[in-house]
Amino acid sequence: MNKKLALIIAAAVILFALATSLLWYFTQSSDGERPTADTAWKFEKTIAEPITATSGDEDVLLGDLDSAKVTIEIPAGAFDSTTEIELVTPDEAPDYSSLEATPIGSPVEIKSEGDVRLNEKMTVTFAFNPEELPADTYADQLQASYYNGERWDYLVPTNVDMEKGLMTVEIYHFSLLGKNKVDDDAVLTKQWIHSQALDDTMRDNINDVSDEIANKMVEMTLAKMGINDKSISGEVLNDILTDDTYKEMYDDYQNGDVSGFNQKLAILMGQKIATRVPESAFKSALSELAGDAAEDVEAVAKAAGYAAEGQYREAAKIIGEQIADKFLITTAGKIAVEVIDYQIQSWKSDEVEAAYQAYKKGSDNYFYGYNNDKGDFDAVWNQMRGVRRQLMIEAIAKQNDARRTAGMPELDEREMDMVRDGVRRSFERQFKSRLEKDEIVEQKEKDLQMLMNKFKEANFLERSFGPKGLQKHDDLKVRMDVLYHFTQRMMKDTKRFKLNDKQGFLVEGAISVHDIAQGVRIFFGEEGGEEEYRKFLNERFGVPLYPDLKNLSGNWSNGVITITEVILSEEAKAMMTETEAGADAEGCDLNINLEDLIGQSGEAAISITATGDNTGTMTLVSDDEPKVIPIKYEGGVITGSFTEDEGVATLTLPVTEDTNGYQINGTVVIKYQGDMAKIIASLTASKAK
């Protein structure tokens, strides 16, 4: 090849790479818009004649996987009344964006003579020939498409079987559907970004966890008192949430002081109950409590007496400290966390997101079958039907799981009704709250898009490439989860919690996506990535190479001490020989063969208390009484020593850190009577972050 031709080819390669990069960049809209539909969907009419059935009190199955390439399973009771349904391949389908997806086979249309929103979810199973899929198709790229009246949306399947050629999706509405191989960047990355932005926003801003704890504590305490009047519980809860001291308590909770929050909430709740619950209700509570623990009956009686006399402080103390006991508070907290986590996770559902969009923008009966005015939550909730039913079922299951763990009985029917009502109120509050937070969601999406753009540029999103530690993750969403988890760790390590794209210099409080990418290369590179990553943080951001001693304070778990070596002086060996021969070796306490100890191990309980930046104490318990050892901490190594009888023990304990916590893997050297005998043991332990 001559030099001129080589230059032309090289230039062409560079221009092609640049053009590809620019094309990808300009199709990723920063304002959430998607590529325009530009390609006609050409297909064979697989189901030439409509397949019809009547949906009523029995399950219905339409289609077949061999000829129709699809089956539709509609459960009994999907409609309020008997309804005629139809399955057909349409004559034509709306254009699709070739930048987003590649259609597989033909679309199908499911029609009904009336409602298109269902009381129960239907199951759609598509059949495909794996050998006819585009090259390098991964299971997570196969998704169902749904035409929402303006464009194709993509729905994540409940199951994809690449060997059998089956894809299943569960939905609550009749519609025009298809199966597709979606594009990584235009669909999968966008889906992940939107889901993660929602998750972050809800967790960052929602105060429902502490509010839900308050709600559960009021509900459970009043129930324990036999008071089931919803108006009273609502008044008590409102009094708590609007009290000035609750704001301070909420701040305590957000800062991690959960026990302090619980104790203060118990007293505040007692005050509000004492002032809100009429004397007659207290007296009624006594009869309702018949058969319960005598101390509960007595406590309610005393509280009622104090409240009747206007001594609300004393009544509150009894309610807060005796009736709402520690067990009840802890259980309420567990239930609240389960409920809120489930609510946040539910936002990742296509159906919940569609309901919110219908609420936000209004719908004309085509968008997921909703027909409602903008902002009309009642209309949307009524039309959610099977979706809301499933949300309620799962919320009840979550609460029952938490109650079983706490040793409490499952919810009764009245309590389940309260949960159902709570689900509705919670989602109405969340819909309204998200309207105010959509700008925050959009900004987070832009930040995450910037981060993923950098990861793409670095080839971290290429399924079979990237640093060694990432190559095992060929599911793109899993890989993005791993990369984002690392990003959050790096933010925490550097105490920089904002993203930017500045390269080369540092901005206070922010971290560049370029630095994060470099951290990924190092951390997920060859063996030793953890240590090299910490060196990088030290050189780039001045982060200490080793964790602070205060972070090591507390109880350690999995402590094990194992004797690895025994070294005896000639004098000690002679004494042991004499002892074995039955001679009385004067002054010799070596009445056992120390060498037999090699390999023996035992549990070791460890607790560390920092008294300064580099000084503290370690309490070590191993078979004997606790030993409190003064320690020093320098260069990531804990050192210390103690004496006992005629022995001196020296500790040298290097500390390492990873994503899960801290580890000790060091040695304990015990010298007996100077150099008479030396025992060397390994000491390992761990502490979660």
Identify whether 572 is part of a domain: yes
* pLDDT confidence tier of residue 434, bands split at 50, 70 and 90: confident
- What's the domain range around 553? 549-688
In the block, tokens 């350690």 appear at 556
pLDDT of 577 higher than 80: no
Q: Which of 254, 251, 291, 299 is nearest to 273 (CA)?
A: 299
* Residues 148, 91: Cα–Cα separation, whole Å: 18
> pLDDT value at position 355?
94
Number of neighbours of residue 340 by Cβ within 10 angstroms: 22
Q: Are residues 105 and 177 in the same domain?
A: yes
Identify whether 336 is part of a domain: no
Identify whether 152 is part of a domain: yes
Secondary structure of 448-513 in HEC code, one letter for each residue: HHHHHHHHHHCCCCCCCCCCHHHCCCCCHHHHHHHHHHHHHHHHHHHCCCEEECCCCCCCCCEEEH
- Tell me the CATH number at 672: 2.40.128.30
Question: Which amino acid would we find at residue 198?
Answer: L
Q: Are residues 677 and 595 in the same domain?
A: yes
Question: Which amino acid would we find at residue 266?
Answer: A
Q: Are residues 595 and 647 in the same domain?
A: yes
CA dihedral 531, 534, 536, 538 (to 10 degrees): -140
Identify whether 503 is part of a domain: yes
- Comparison of pLDDT for 79 and 237, the residue scoring more: 79
* Residues 104, 608: Cα–Cα separation, whole Å: 61
Q: Are 623 and 632 in contact (CB under 8 A)?
A: no
Q: Are residues 79 and 168 in the same domain?
A: yes
Identify whether 230 is part of a domain: no
Query: Across residues 153-164, what is the average pLDDT?
Result: 94
Which of 182, 205, 240 marks a domain boundary? Answer: 182
The distance in angstroms from the start CA to the end CA of the chain is 61
* pLDDT confidence tier of residue 539, bands split at 50, 70 and 90: very high
The answer to which of 177-181, 637-641, 645-649 has the lowest mean pLDDT is 645-649
Identify whether 537 is part of a domain: yes
Q: 250: phi > 0 → left, psi -120 to 50 → alpha, else beta; which?
A: alpha
Q: What is the mean pLDDT of the chain?
A: 81
The answer to which of 82-86, 333-337, 555-559 has the lowest mean pLDDT is 333-337
* pLDDT confidence tier of residue 354, bands split at 50, 70 and 90: very high
In the block, tokens 């009544």 appear at 315
Secondary structure of 241-306 in HEC code, one letter for each residue: HCCHHHHHHHHHHHCCCHHHHHHHHHHHHHHHHHHHCCHHHHHHHHHHCCCCCHHHHHHHHHHHHH
Q: Are residues 464 and 536 in the same domain?
A: yes
- Tell me the CATH number at 56: 2.60.220.30
Q: Are residues 478 and 554 in the same domain?
A: no
- Comparison of pLDDT for 635 and 512, the residue scoring more: 512
Which of 487, 511, 541 marks a domain boundary? Answer: 541
Q: Are residues 553 and 674 in the same domain?
A: yes
Query: Token digits for 316?
Result: 């509150």
pLDDT of 295 higher than 90: no
Query: Token digits for 70?
Result: 């699809």
> pLDDT value at position 140?
94
List own/partner pairs for 191-194 with CB under 8 A and 24 or more apart. 191/154, 191/156, 191/477, 192/452, 192/476, 192/477, 192/480, 192/481, 193/445, 193/448, 193/449, 193/452, 194/445
Which of 541, 559, 590 marks a domain boundary? Answer: 541
Q: Which of 501, 380, 405 is nearest to 446 (CA)?
A: 501
| pLDDT tens per residue across span 475-486 | 899 999 999 999
Maximum Cα–Cα distance across the chain: 107
pTM: 0.69
Secondary structure of 495-530 in HEC code, one letter for each residue: CCCEEECCCCCCCCCEEEHHHHHHHHHHHCCCCCHH
pLDDT of 460 higher than 50: yes
Q: Are residues 537 and 555 in the same domain?
A: no
The helix or strand, by DSSP H or E, that contains position 570, with its residue range, turns out to be helix 570-580
Phi, psi (5° rounding) for residue 354? Answer: -65, -40
The answer to which of 132-136, 370-374, 507-511, 613-617 has the lowest mean pLDDT is 132-136
- Comparison of pLDDT for 648 and 407, the residue scoring more: 648
Q: Are residues 520 and 570 in the same domain?
A: no
* pLDDT confidence tier of residue 487, bands split at 50, 70 and 90: very high
* pLDDT confidence tier of residue 30, bands split at 50, 70 and 90: very low
> pLDDT value at position 26?
27
* pLDDT confidence tier of residue 115, bands split at 50, 70 and 90: confident
| pLDDT tens per residue across span 381-408 | 999 999 999 999 988 888 888 777 766 7
pLDDT of 159 higher than 70: yes
Number of neighbours of residue 53 by Cβ within 10 angstroms: 16
- Comparison of pLDDT for 231 and 285, the residue scoring more: 231
Q: Are residues 650 and 678 in the same domain?
A: yes
Q: Are 112 and 138 in contact (CB under 8 A)?
A: no
Identify whether 274 is part of a domain: no
Q: Are residues 616 and 570 in the same domain?
A: yes
Distance (Å) of CA 62 to CA 109, 123, 446, 517, 584: 12, 11, 43, 50, 96
Q: Are residues 468 and 521 in the same domain?
A: yes
* pLDDT confidence tier of residue 423, bands split at 50, 70 and 90: confident
* pLDDT confidence tier of residue 72, bands split at 50, 70 and 90: very high
pLDDT of 90 higher than 50: yes
Burial (Cβ within 10 Å: 0-12, 13-18, ≥19) of residue 199: middle
Query: Across residues 625-635, what is the average pLDDT?
Result: 88
Identify whether 123 is part of a domain: yes
Distance (Å) of CA 77 to CA 51, 74, 81: 20, 9, 8
Distance of CA 101 to the CA centre of its chain: 29
* Residues 129, 132: Cα–Cα separation, whole Å: 5
Number of compact structural domains in the chain: 3
